[in-house]
Structure 1
Amino acid sequence: MANNFQMLAKTMHGFEGVLADELRKMGAIDVKEGKRSVLFKGDEGFMYKANLGLRTALKILRPIASFKVKNEEGLYRQVNNISWEDYLGVNGTLAVDTTVYSDNFTHSKFVALKTKDAVVDRYRDLFGKRPDVDVKHPDLRIHVHINRDYCTISLDSSGNSLHHRGYRSATNIAPINEVMAAGMLLLSGWDGKSDFMDPMCGSGTVLVEAAMIACNIPPNINRREFGFEKWKDYDADLFETIFESLLKKSREFSYKILGYDKAPSAVSKCRENIKNANLSEFITVEQRDFFETEKETKGPLHMVFNPPYGERLRLEAEAFYSSIGDTLKQGYPGTEAWFISSNMEALKHVGLRPSRKITLYNGKLESKFLKYEIYEGSKKNKNNQ
């Protein structure tokens, strides 16, 4: 217990509860939901595990200092007092990210600059030389969070955002973020215990995330690096142990995962990304127009997809969404269908009553994640009424 420390996992709006649940199942201590974030405690090994295994986290931050601050001079002084030499060698590189909600600090870039100055000036005073800045691949990424007059300084253990899984080399016009896809799947209750389908699969992100959940494969197993791998106290043997233990928890999957897209280029990109994720044996992708298909599997079907909203892809939205409803109603009995859209007007034309509505943000677009239950025999029952 003595080796446990506070950490903060950042996520997207609407996924706080999902992430908290993930953390508890993973063994985190003192889990507390916040706004687009979850606080928790664990040791160094748990920090490695959280980066490797959390599906809905964007970053894992390790706070090292917090204080009240009212102006740039106070920020500089407090940051300069931190023993940065414990975390970064003088010949290392650093970068500073900021999140600022304060009337006292109106420019986040200036906060980043002031923080950087305070850090490098400490090295110059102590050693006569200073670390360099490298915004793309630093040895230490520092995160500054200011809310009103309260500042928290954290080390970013993730490096690049955790939605960069490492398998997606090809994308379409409007790809969905990997964390977004995983969060939607977990919110939908997908657990790998039925057949799965994405009828508008694009570059395959939902399919890949669905397969990794079904097989209990760590989502960030394909990443090239994490921020903590450059830290002074990085324990490579411990990381390898955590990596192997997570891999051993993968499980068999005996159902089908199917993706459709009518664009040949999308199908090609989708298959490439699935291959990169080493999941080709679990996922089948076909070039087909969903509106000309019907359910080909027996038993329950779980469906999650991200149709065009009409924001970046041109379409006759009302007719398109009406066709989604007609195709589900007429061709997909025994299906639990979930999809997300920011086109509230077009959603009125689906012609089905959703049993759940969840507000999410796809990028900056406020969207609804909707559940439609298509029952077996519903057409027959309707005709007999």
Structure 2
Amino acid sequence: MGNNYTMVAKTLFGFEELLEEELRNLGAINVQKGVRSVTFEGDKGFMYKANLCLRTAIKILKPVKSFRVRNEQDLYDQIYKMDWERFMSVHSTFAIDATLATDRFHHSQFISLKTKDAIVDKFRNLHGTRPDVDLKYPDIRIHIHIQQSEVTVSIDSSGRSLHQRGYKTATNIAPINEVLAAGLIMMSGWDGQCDFMDPMCGSGTIPVEAAMIACNIPPNINRKEFAFEKWPDFDANLFEKIIESSLKKTREFHHKIYGYDKAPSAVAKAKDNVKNANLSEYITITQRNFFETYKPVDGKLHMVFNPPYGERLSIDMEQFYKSIGDTLKKHYPGTDAWFITSNMEALKHVGLRPSRKIKLFNGHLESRLVKYEMYEGSKKGKYIE
């Protein structure tokens, strides 16, 4: 197809394969995995669909120009030469993000400034006036990536990070990023074929993402806006069609999703967020202390959670992680329990042997996603006495 172009989807470290698979399933072509990113090809409609439907993408960038530079003057000249009126007008506001993987330039801030100067000068020389910078809500966000001497200029089609789904009005003290939550749930193999629980649900992110996966609801359906809606070539009818066809692919979910938290404030926020996501019929949020609970269902239970890790919440780590192990062992037979932690020391106190350990990052913290299989009946689980 003549209208296809290359795009780059950014993601979190460790989620590259998940994103690659998501893109293939969505219909992208020439999908290639990188570090914290996956490149692919598609047309304008596919760009809209990628922003709407990808669970593990943080941004979708559209590269528009690449060139080599020796110094700052080269950068300025090449940026100045570009036809910026394809992307914006003198009345547009804009912002620039720069990432550097080079020893030629040392300050991303300075690169952003040089790029801004070139664009502003170009418009001023053409029209006698210039577009303004707006760091918070720009009409167009420009991304500069420098790898040694190779510069790639991209236009950011997403705007604010895609983890900002639009259903969260309230968060608790240590909220989990929505993209991280979705990725953990996908890595755990959750397919909506049994009941699901988050026993420490905070503001409800994991239960909401789990319900959206189970029902195949586009993750960004509640989002207020995407950057591409401000582009000169935005096709509102096409975007409307993409939304409609994505919503037609949703499916029914015949099990229950439980969220527990012992803090009343977290429970209130989680209920709000579940309601905002229009998922109240699937998700039950209850104020409970996980360590005083029993498995609420017969049969299989799939559990994914993000326990406090002491970085922002102070708890007695040893005792806390021992209680997780004890509760799973005594009260949760027939459960696959997955959780993420950045506290490798505390993991030793769970007293169970994990059947899987996956290295990830939670923000800047190196973490592990661990799986514990709690067997029914005689096969009592692999315990370390």
TM-superposed CA distance for 1:382, in Å, is 9.1
**1:47-58 matches, cutoff 5 A:** 47-58=47-58
1:324 positional shift:
0.4
Question: Does residue 28 of the first structure (1) align with residue 54 of the second (2)?
Answer: no
| Aligned equivalents of 1:250, 1:49: Cα separation in 2 | 15
1:215 counterpart residue number: 215
Q: Deviations over 1:219-270 (max 9, x none)?
A: 0000100000000000000000001110111100000000111111110010
C-alpha distance in 2 between matches for 1:72 and 1:124: 20
Distance change >3 Å, CA 70–CA 375, structure 1 → 2: same
Specify the code of the residue in structure 2 equivalent to 1:375.
Y
| Distance change (3 Å), C-alpha of 1:67 and 1:381 | closer
Alignment of 1:226-245 (within 5 A): 226-245=226-245
Q: State the TM-score, normalizing by the size of structure 2.
A: 0.98
Tell me if the contact between 1:140 and 1:155 (Cα under 8 Å) persists in the aligned partners: yes
- CA deviation digits over 1:285-328, x for unaligned, max 9? 11111001111201111100000111110000011001101111
* Residue correspondence of structure 1 range 198-347 to structure 2 within 5 A: 198-347=198-347
Asked if 1:359 is matched to 2:367, the reply is no
CA distance in 1, matches of 2:119, 2:62: 17
Deviation at 1:378, TM superposition (A): 4.0
Q: Which residue of 2 aligns with 1:18?
A: 18
State the alpha-carbon separation in 2 of the partners of residues 222 and 232 from structure 1.
23
Paired residues of 2:352 and 2:382 also in contact (CA < 8 A): no
| Change in 2 beyond 3 A, CA 1:281/1:268 | same
Task: Report how far residue 126 of structure 1 moved.
Answer: 1.6
* Aligned 8 A contact 1:144 1:153 in 2: yes
Residues in 2 aligned to 1:30 and 1:382: alpha-carbon distance in whole angstroms: 43
Q: Give the conservation status (yes or no) of the 8 Å contact 1:195–1:257.
A: yes
Partner of 1:101: 101
Residue 140 of structure 2 is matched in structure 1 by: 140
The CA distance in 2 between the partners of 1:282 and 1:378, in whole Å, is 32
Deviation per CA, 1:17-72: give whole Å up to 9, x if none. Answer: 00000000000000000000000000000000000000000000000011112211
Coordinate RMSD, CA, aligned? 1.2
Q: Distance in 2 between matches of 1:182 and 1:273?
A: 15
Q: CA deviation at 1:89?
A: 1.2
Identity over aligned pairs, percent: 67
SS of residue paired to 1:209: helix
Q: Which residue of 1 aligns with 2:348?
A: 348
Bigger shift: 35-44 or 117-126? 117-126
Unaligned runs of 5+ in 2: none
Measure, in 2, the Cα distance between the counterparts of 1:160 and 1:148. Answer: 27
Corresponding residue number in structure 1 for 2:90: 90
Q: Does 1:9 find its partner at 2:9?
A: yes
For the 8 Å contact 2:305–2:339, the answer to whether it is kept is yes
Q: CA deviation at 1:359?
A: 0.7
Cα contact 2:374–2:381 (8 A) shared by 1? no
Shift of 1:381: 8.9
CA distance in 1, matches of 2:222, 2:248: 16
The answer to whether the 8 A contact 2:375-2:381 is kept is: no
Give me the whole-angstrom Cα distance separating, in 2, the residues matched to 1:135 and 1:237: 29
2-structure distance, mates of 1:288, 1:378: 29
Q: Aligned partners of 2:229, 2:296: CA distance in 1, in Å?
A: 46
How many residue pairs align between the two structures?
383
Q: Judging changes above 3 Å, is the alpha-carbon distance between structure 1 residues 76 and 290 closer, same or farther for their aligned structure 2 residues?
A: same
* Contact 1:24–1:31 (CA under 8 A) maintained in structure 2: yes
| Amino acid corresponding to residue 283 of structure 2 in structure 1 | I
Aligned amino acid, residue 87 of structure 1 = F
Secondary structure of 1:48 counterpart: helix
For residues 379 and 330 of structure 1, the distance between their equivalents in structure 2, rounded to whole angstroms, comes to: 13
Query: Which residue in 1 is equivalent to 2:65?
Result: 65
Judge conservation of contact 1:339–1:371 (CA < 8 Å) in 2.
yes
- Cα distance change on mapping 1:378 and 1:327 into 2, 3 Å: farther
2-structure distance, mates of 1:144, 1:292? 52
Matched, 1:376 2:346: no
Contact 2:100 2:147 in 1 (8 A): yes
Conserved? CA contact 1:178–1:209, under 8 Å: yes
After superposition, the C-alpha distances for 1:153-204 in whole angstroms (9 at most, x for unaligned) are: 0000000000000011111111000000000011111111110000000000
Evaluate the alpha carbon distance shift between residue 322 and residue 89 of structure 1 in structure 2; reply closer, same or farther with a 3 A threshold.
same
Q: Cα gap change, 1:337/1:121 in structure 2, threshold over 3 Å: closer, same or farther?
A: same
1:155 match: secondary structure? strand
Q: Map of 1:69-80 to 2, 5 A cutoff?
A: 69-80=69-80
Q: Is the 8 A contact 2:94 2:141 kept in 1?
A: yes
Deviation at 1:106, TM superposition (A): 0.6
Whole-Å Cα distance in 2 between the matches of residues 324 and 381 of structure 1? 14
CA contact (8 A) 1:333 1:378 kept: no
The residue type equivalent to 2:3 in the other structure is N
Question: How many angstroms apart in 2 are the aligned matches of 1:171 and 1:157?
Answer: 26
